[in-house]
A and B are shown apart, each in its own frame.
Chain A
């Protein structure tokens, strides 16, 4: 951890705090952007505000922050408005109209800036693309405290965003999920849309100016997307996204100092690493999210596959036992019928042995009474289903085995009772095999 050796709270502390504030401020409205499927609005605004800066500069003839900020915010809002108009009037897909608007505005901004560049040196880099590493250098005095200006600005933005979301929570939620319902309830969903747009534009511009655009564009999308995978409730989603945003800011700055050392470099871009950490957190969440995680689903499926194989083994032994009482089979003999893997089958059989379903004798495994009961239940389900499929479903007799083979693993005692009732308690299945009693 050599990178952390010269960690200083008065420098790194402020940087991390600025990162956290920016991340939280962006992730709050980001939740609603995600629900409205407008996640790329942050990116579009980050490109589109360029002409706003240029025009503000041309009008005010100065490089002070206030006109630049206003110009950028206004153009940011216009970006969303134009996107909406082109979508409505031209009947163009949302993404395409966004693409048209922001690339056009960006190109316009470039041309404007190049045309004005010879008058005074307008350096949009210093207005547009702040660097989070400079956070501790510009401070303001509040009371007796020296606080970085960026922290003051971003705290304001975060609080305002929080306040707006708390106050308009119901309205924002309704209009995000069901605009027509919200309109019919008397909530102007268009107004909510514009409120959200203003929030996004202000957050974006304030963050570009202070901590750079990579961070904020990432934080609009990634933490809300992560939270979306972890919960079903909007309130929880917002809380989780803020938590994830804050943690990725912390992890990002630490790894910006630590990770490059492993490869022999000094340090790297904090904002870039914060975006990357958010991405990593997203990836982890997508793997292990309790309900929909990719890994969780694979494990669930694998466990099901094992259970089915383990039941199939017992049912097969039962059928052999049925044919010749007290017969035994080795794992290899069972595998030859079930086409299962050697390692897994042995493991599952030894598990059965431990549970007392089978006993190992000289020439393989033999069912115990407990195992025979288990096997009887499965075979009974299988044959009842076969009978049911033929008598009630009208399925041809040569096609029932496969379906019954699937259904037997999901049939409990109650369902077996119902099946027996429906098929009026048959003694044998359509193949003529006896159906074991319950």
Chain B
């Protein structure tokens, strides 16, 4: 309702009011003197902010329709015969691997979006480095100078995150958000100023910030490779310490590990990979490379070492396949790499063998089936008891027959569910269907049923004697736990209760068994 109201108010404010683009007359003289200044600002502003425009501009606009690549294009990409494609694919692959490795630690540290904050935090450094270098008469656009600026301001961003997180009562997400927006604001202010500088042409700065994948050259790829190798080596050396930091900060601190230093090392690695990634492939892509491979790897394993390897592999595959597709279809490589990574993420999320949605669904389904079967068998045992047969000879118990309608009214199950479960038990050899359509327990079934009833009652009695739960309420509590009781626990329960209650054989029920409402 409120949403409709909102929309309506917006429609009013957007459309119904007469829009006049003319400037009121009394301001003309004032405006004229200042409008040029403003418009310069505005155009600068727009040109910096919209990286969308940049992507469009950096790609030729002539032929944008998707065409299926010809065989020669396939061959060029697949066999890496084109030198440029070779370099780009290799570079993005190494970047993906480095980001995947570092990213699995930032993910576990619950700072998945740290790459986001730090990639924005490098911006003012780039601007400042350019201004200072130009003022000193150097070439402001030389890569080492800009990278140094980016690194310095990235480290400042790390310091700011640590300041907010450790010295105020704000949490991780607020620290990242503050650093991201304030540093980015400072960076934009810096770049706006740079646009006004008469000396030095700032035209290349944006590509430094927003990436220039297609024009990646060999030195860029080497830089990525070396930095990636460096970060992998650092992670390898500090593997144990970083693992502790991510999983149990308090324990790591109590063992005397320098937490702050480790935190700084981890974030510096993020800064390093971010910087090389930024100037190679752009802002948003770097964030994606930090988050997605690691989050995808989490679905496949519970082991950190394996997770790091899988994450690196997924990152590498994302870079490789993404830039190959972009070379084939002539699409920008940054977004393609992101899309390949996110496809890998979603596939992992569904089919991942450790925490994937499908696996967890199957596990739950199996548990439900087990619970259903146990309810049926226990219900049968209780019915037997109500006929006064439990102490009778096993042979007579087996011959005892149950009608479907009787079972249906005994538990709170639907006839379809009951039918399905009966069928399953019959196939498992626990039940027999007699010629008159009534059911009987087999010998195995009887053993299983009495074991289940026994376990259920043990737990009920435990609740009554040791947890002071009223006998009328134990049935449901026991119901919740009986399906996951381990054999060792049963043995301990038996020992505990046999001493107290002198139970022989199968325990009697501690409360009257009512036909309906039991066995939910």
CB proximity of B130 to chain A, nearest CB, Å: 13
Flag if A266 contacts B34 (CB, 8 Å): no
**A275 at the binding interface (Cβ < 8 Å):** yes
Interfacial chain A residues near B111, Cβ < 8 Å: 95
A-B contact count (CB 8 A): 322
Flag if B284 contacts A39 (CB, 8 Å): no
Contact among B10, B112, B187, B294 with A272 in the assembled complex (CB-CB below 8 Å): B187
Flag if B173 contacts A40 (CB, 8 Å): yes
Flag if A267 contacts B292 (CB, 8 Å): no
**A146 at the binding interface (Cβ < 8 Å):** yes
Interfacial chain B residues near A139, Cβ < 8 Å: 19-20, 24
CB proximity of A228 to chain B, nearest CB, Å: 6
**B50 at the binding interface (Cβ < 8 Å):** yes
The main secondary structure of chain A at its interface with chain B is: helix
**Docked pose: A156 CA to B335 CA in angstroms:** 35
**Docked pose: A432 CA to B55 CA in angstroms:** 84
Flag if A96 contacts B294 (CB, 8 Å): yes
**B18 at the binding interface (Cβ < 8 Å):** yes
**A153 at the binding interface (Cβ < 8 Å):** yes
**B353 at the binding interface (Cβ < 8 Å):** no
Given contacts A95-B173, A114-B331, contact A272 B188 (CB under 8 A): yes
Flag if B176 contacts A39 (CB, 8 Å): yes
**Docked pose: A260 CA to B37 CA in angstroms:** 14
Within 282-313 of B, Cβ neighbours of A (below 8 Å) are at 284-285, 287-288, 290-292, 294-295, 298-299
**A318 at the binding interface (Cβ < 8 Å):** no
Contact among B116, B174, B185 with A271 in the assembled complex (CB-CB below 8 Å): B185
**B196 at the binding interface (Cβ < 8 Å):** yes
CB proximity of A215 to chain B, nearest CB, Å: 8
Task: Kindly supply a per-residue 1/0 record for chain A positions 1-27, scoring 1 wherever the CB is within 8 Å of any chain B CB and 0 otherwise.
Answer: 000001010110000000000000000
Flag if A43 contacts B6 (CB, 8 Å): no
Contact among A136, A164, A228 with B170 in the assembled complex (CB-CB below 8 Å): A228
Flag if A37 contacts B171 (CB, 8 Å): yes
Contact among B15, B170, B181, B285 with A43 in the assembled complex (CB-CB below 8 Å): B181
Within 188-231 of A, Cβ neighbours of B (below 8 Å) are at 195, 198, 202, 206, 212-215, 217-218, 220-222, 225, 228-229
Flag if B41 contacts A107 (CB, 8 Å): no
**B31 at the binding interface (Cβ < 8 Å):** yes
Give 3 closest A-B pairs by Cβ, nearest first: A275-B185, A279-B182, A99-B291
22 A-B residue pairs with CB within 8 Å: A11-B34, A39-B174, A92-B298, A95-B110, A100-B295, A104-B288, A107-B284, A107-B336, A114-B59, A118-B62, A129-B50, A133-B45, A149-B19, A156-B9, A156-B10, A195-B2, A217-B184, A218-B182, A218-B184, A266-B196, A272-B192, A282-B178
Using CB atoms and an 8 Å cutoff, list the residues of chain A in contact with chain B.
6, 8, 10-11, 34, 37-40, 42-43, 47, 50, 65-66, 69-70, 73, 86, 89-100, 103-104, 106-111, 113-115, 117-118, 123-126, 128-129, 131, 133-134, 136-142, 146, 149, 152-153, 156, 160, 164, 195, 198, 202, 206, 212-215, 217-218, 220-222, 225, 228-229, 256, 260, 263, 265-269, 271-276, 278-279, 282, 286, 292, 294
Extra contacts, 4 of them, besides A69-B10, A126-B46, A278-B181 (Cβ < 8 A), are A39-B177, A225-B178, A273-B189, A274-B185
Using CB atoms and an 8 Å cutoff, list the residues of chain B in contact with chain A.
2-3, 5-7, 9-11, 13-15, 17-21, 23-24, 27, 30-31, 33-34, 37-38, 41-42, 45-46, 49-50, 52-53, 55-56, 59, 61-66, 107, 110-113, 116, 163-164, 167-174, 176-178, 180-193, 196-197, 284-285, 287-288, 290-292, 294-295, 298-299, 331-332, 334-336, 338-339, 342, 345, 349, 355, 357, 360
